[in-house]
Structure 1
Amino acid sequence: MKKILFLSAATLSLSFPALAGDYLTNTNQHAAFLRMVARGASIDIDGVYSNPAGLSFLPHEGFYLSLTGQSAYQTREINATFPLFQQADGAGTNRQYKGTASAPLIPSFQGLYKKDKWVISTSFAITGGGGKASFSNGLPMFDALAMGMISQQTGGKVTPQMYDIHTAMDGKQYIYGLQLGLSYKINDWLSVFAGGRMNYVQSGYEGYLKAYMKENLGGSQLANLELKCDQSGWGLTPILGINAKLGRWNLAAKYEFKTNLNIENKTNVLEVPAGTPEAIMKPYADGEQTPNDIPAFLSVAAGYEILPNLRASVEYHFFDDKQAGMLNDRQKTLKHGTHEYLAGVEWDITKRLTVSGGYQRTNYGLSDEFQTDTSFYCDSYSLGFGARINFTQAWSIDVAYFWTHYDKYTKEVASYNGTGLSGTDVYYRTNKVFGLSLNYKF
């Protein structure tokens, strides 16, 4: 039964991968990112997040405001192979699990005021997470551990064909970020930025597992587990930036320091077997705190004006994940921090219409020890495209679509979820995001 407890407690680490970016960092804060991707050298309103130092080179003094709405839809799939998953007809030991995650509206706001060499800027956004995930048929770790327990307790006399398992898991995660900072233009070609972001985490997880003998065999209960937990915490992210505008080139860099962040449990329901050791219970007890650091983030970008109406950018991101604390020091199992490579181009077809497209490649440095059913990731590449429409000199909108293709990750283990039997999980995801930004300056 101890193994089943680990199963229930694992829902506390159920993660909601960022729509673009790292484990706990969303880099898509404006539709301009979705349509061009490489925006680290941007000199525009979206630079409040992507290139705050570059704001000092905006051409007009006064206020710039932008309101963004994004809709994201994801699926997470696990193709699991395990001996006790054998079908009733004896054909195959494979099961397919699918979870859906949706965020119909992810809002963000960016604003600034420019006066002479100074710019004060602010933003509010969901800087990490931002959705709900539901596995209506549970997860393979739930089923495998329950089956292994039942098999051990009955000496193999009760087989999977003799009982039914009912299980499900839901969760949500949001990291709200409020940013404030100052940009200063040192001379005609160099500017700097200093600021910070206050982050507030709000998460919730709910799951259960119940196993019963089939009705014709008496219908007795074999396992009954339930967990309902809310989590919250906050942390501060210092941010520095620099921008050099050299003729047709614009070079920019931003560094976000590591955010020390602990999340505290508010456990409403934790139903586990009697006699469970306190050492196992403690990390998931009501009021317990666990590390959930947001890693340091470096962005380096270069933009080039090929023609007066044609621009291109390249960018590199590094997230120092191995130095950001996670539950049970999980970060130490990573091979390296996350590397991202981005490129984009935009073309002003007319004064009223700009079209753009971009590409992003993400490499997480994953390992088998890091990957779990409740928190798995896949390396990927993403494509974004869209347009900006200028209605007047003051009003414009950005519309965009961003699509991600994920590599499959295969994990083979000798003891599948601690059952003593070998098994294999193949992890896969899908993702698509739509975005609209309304921009105004005066």
Structure 2
Amino acid sequence: MVARGASVDVDGVYYNPAGLVFLPNDGVQLSLTVQSAFQTRDIAATSSLWTMDGNQSTNFYKGKASAPVIPSVHGVWKTGKWAVSGFFGITGGGGKASFDDGLPMFDSGAIGLVTKESMLPTTHKPLLTPLMYDINSAMEGRQYIFGAQLGLSYKFNEHVAIFLGARMNYFSGGYKGFLNVSLKDGVAEGLANKMVGMLVQNGMPLTQAQELVKQKAGDMMAKLNDSKIDLDCDQTGWGLTPILGVDVKLGKLNLAAKYEFMANMNIENDTRTLNYPAGAEIFMAPFKDGVNTPSDIPAFLSVAAGYEFLPCLRASVEYHFFDDKHAGMAGSKEKALKHGTHEYLAGVEWDIDKFMTVSGGFQKTDYGLSDAFQGDTSFSCDSYSLGFGTRLNLTKHLALDVAYFWTKYSDYTKTEPRNALLTQMGLPTAGDQNVYSRSNKVFGVSAIYKF
């Protein structure tokens, strides 16, 4: 079931730790879960920059992200009014993503540099336009947040229980990428002949014109070679999340709440390779060795209600709030958010018989996005999700859960992301935009054992 905030089961270690003291039996329960997540993160970039011939065109950048194995372990020991619980798993990050054709931000930066370096002082027009050269680039990024949680639950009476605990978060990530520019076949020869002809026409002897063009061509090729970008950077950081929880059980109705305090976390670069031209400083400075970037884990509130309509039929509703707007981010971009993240969840589960339980649920996510918040290396899209699952009670002690989670995202359109560069180059800005889109599918299997 998608909405697990009022769960009284072993997964309550993470979702509703206060409710663990309402487990029907004392003893130890363990759960091992393995999830597989597969995502796409695509960008459709429309601009007059890609051709510089007065026409708009769209370049497509397809990103693939996968985390084939996302393990997590839940464990609880309940005795009387007390329960001690622990959790270890991947709690955040986007896994590993690769853009085999690079990103719009790097391509536009490369075009700006080449245009500047090939500008003719006499005509104030570039000798090279994007149709004359190829930009070869790729970017790969990875982000994982590993969480280790430990806490204590206490039941005051048959109705009220509380939880106090903390989770240690360790961030491991990094980026690898490259970019280089190469002239298309025949372009160099064609330009050289054109320049020689112009110089001869203006009265320069042929031999002198050829020598001058050879020298200029060498300078230009050297500048193209200097426009290369190479990046290999690891990033690490850690932060502590204090957690409070409460559970109120009123017969067939169960009410639960959990609050996770913000975890202050700085991500530090360990950069092995970082080569780029001076004109790319604005893009590449954040990847310099030793640079610390704020990447706080926002405060989080979960409020849930579960109700048992029949001994075999249960349903729950839930609300989440992530206080992203007050969590430090790179470049203070959290200030650009319209509001924190709101999530609304609902789910139902039905015991077909003693052997099988089926469940389904819904989740809607609203991020409060803005153009200033969105970027090529990190973007979000509002979404809704559907989840379905089955539990098989194999024995008195062993159960198996199988689940599928599918997310539908709303495309986000960022207008005029290259406005400053286009204005500087005298190109039209109208219609310049990036359309960000995503998809997500998650499969999960859990084994639960009750000692």
Q: Give TM-score scaled by structure 2 length.
A: 0.86
Of stretches 237-246 and 287-296 in structure 1, the one that deviates more from structure 2 is: 287-296
In the alignment, the residues of structure 1 paired with residue 134 and residue 51 of structure 2 have an alpha-carbon distance, to the nearest angstrom, of 13
Among all aligned residue pairs of Structure 1 and Structure 2, give the percentage whose two residues are the same amino acid: 61
Give the alignment partner of residue 431 of structure 1, picking from 428, 440, 451.
Answer: 440
Larger relative contact order (C-alpha < 8 A, sep ≥ 6)?
1
* Match status 1:135 vs 2:99: yes
In the alignment, the residues of structure 1 paired with residue 334 and residue 90 of structure 2 have an alpha-carbon distance, to the nearest angstrom, of 23
Alignment of 1:410-429 (within 5 A): 410-413=413-416, 415-416=418-419, 418-420=421-423, 421=427, 422=429, 423-429=432-438
* Match status 1:63 vs 2:28: yes
* Match status 1:244 vs 2:278: no
* Match status 1:377 vs 2:380: yes
Give secondary structure in 1 for the equivalent of 2:186: helix
Q: Tell me which residue corresponds to 1:21.
A: none
Give the length in aligned residue pairs. 405
In the alignment, the residues of structure 2 paired with residue 381 and residue 389 of structure 1 have an alpha-carbon distance, to the nearest angstrom, of 27
Give the alignment partner of residue 80 of structure 1, picking from 41, 45, 48.
Answer: 45
* Match status 1:358 vs 2:391: no
Q: Mark the CA change 1:424 to 1:280 in structure 2 (over 3 Å): closer, same or farther.
A: closer
Q: Mark the CA change 1:183 to 1:121 in structure 2 (over 3 Å): closer, same or farther.
A: same
In the alignment, the residues of structure 2 paired with residue 382 and residue 93 of structure 1 have an alpha-carbon distance, to the nearest angstrom, of 33
What CA deviation, in whole Å up to 9, does each residue of 1:305-347 have, x standing for no partner? Answer: 1111000000000000011001111100000000000000000
Give secondary structure in 1 for the equivalent of 2:126: coil
Give secondary structure in 2 for the equivalent of 1:148: helix
Q: Which runs of 5+ in 1 are unaligned?
A: 1-35
Shift of 1:393: 1.6
Q: Tell me which residue corresponds to 1:260.
A: 264
CA contact (8 A) 2:313 2:348 kept: yes
In the alignment, the residues of structure 1 paired with residue 6 and residue 441 of structure 2 have an alpha-carbon distance, to the nearest angstrom, of 24
In the alignment, the residues of structure 1 paired with residue 95 and residue 261 of structure 2 have an alpha-carbon distance, to the nearest angstrom, of 25
**Structure number with bigger Rg:** 2
1:113 partner letter: W
Q: Tell me which residue corresponds to 2:176.
A: 206
Q: Tell me which residue corresponds to 1:175.
A: 145
Of stretches 366-375 and 152-161 in structure 1, the one that deviates more from structure 2 is: 152-161
* Match status 1:346 vs 2:349: yes
When the two chains are superposed, the root-mean-square deviation of aligned CA atoms in Å is 1.9
* Match status 1:305 vs 2:305: no
Q: Tell me which residue corresponds to 1:160.
A: 130
1:74 partner letter: Q
CA contact (8 A) 1:106 1:130 kept: no
CA contact (8 A) 1:141 1:417 kept: no
Give secondary structure in 2 for the equivalent of 1:56: helix
Q: Mark the CA change 1:64 to 1:158 in structure 2 (over 3 Å): closer, same or farther.
A: same
Runs of 4+ in structure 1 displaced over 4 angstroms? 274-277, 279-283
Give secondary structure in 1 for the equivalent of 2:353: coil
Shift of 1:84: 2.6
Give the alignment partner of residue 75 of structure 2, picking from 111, 117, 122.
Answer: 111
What CA deviation, in whole Å up to 9, does each residue of 1:349-388 have, x standing for no partner? Answer: 0011000000000000000000011111100000000100
CA contact (8 A) 1:315 1:341 kept: yes
* Match status 1:317 vs 2:320: yes
Shift of 1:148: 2.4
CA contact (8 A) 2:262 2:298 kept: yes
CA contact (8 A) 1:68 1:435 kept: yes
In the alignment, the residues of structure 2 paired with residue 84 and residue 231 of structure 1 have an alpha-carbon distance, to the nearest angstrom, of 33
Alignment of 1:265-276 (within 5 A): 265-273=269-277
Give the alignment partner of residue 371 of structure 2, picking from 368, 373, 378.
Answer: 368
What CA deviation, in whole Å up to 9, does each residue of 1:41-100 have, x standing for no partner? Answer: 000000000000000000011000000000000001111101132499x98511111100
Shift of 1:130: 5.2
Q: Tell me which residue corresponds to 2:155.
A: 185
1:72 partner letter: A
Q: Which runs of 5+ in 2 are unaligned?
A: 120-124, 190-220
In the alignment, the residues of structure 2 paired with residue 345 and residue 80 of structure 1 have an alpha-carbon distance, to the nearest angstrom, of 41
Q: Tell me which residue corresponds to 2:111.
A: 147
1:437 partner letter: S
In the alignment, the residues of structure 1 paired with residue 364 and residue 417 of structure 2 have an alpha-carbon distance, to the nearest angstrom, of 32
CA contact (8 A) 2:48 2:55 kept: no
In the alignment, the residues of structure 2 paired with residue 281 and residue 407 of structure 1 have an alpha-carbon distance, to the nearest angstrom, of 30
Q: Mark the CA change 1:237 to 1:371 in structure 2 (over 3 Å): closer, same or farther.
A: same
CA contact (8 A) 2:51 2:129 kept: no
In the alignment, the residues of structure 2 paired with residue 386 and residue 228 of structure 1 have an alpha-carbon distance, to the nearest angstrom, of 40
Shift of 1:283: 4.2
Shift of 1:392: 1.4
What CA deviation, in whole Å up to 9, does each residue of 1:10-43 have, x standing for no partner? Answer: xxxxxxxxxxxxxxxxxxxxxxxxxx11000000
CA contact (8 A) 1:86 1:94 kept: no
Q: Tell me which residue corresponds to 1:25.
A: none
In the alignment, the residues of structure 1 paired with residue 82 and residue 126 of structure 2 have an alpha-carbon distance, to the nearest angstrom, of 74
Give secondary structure in 1 for the equivalent of 2:6: coil
Of stretches 196-205 and 419-428 in structure 1, the one that deviates more from structure 2 is: 419-428
In the alignment, the residues of structure 2 paired with residue 136 and residue 322 of structure 1 have an alpha-carbon distance, to the nearest angstrom, of 32
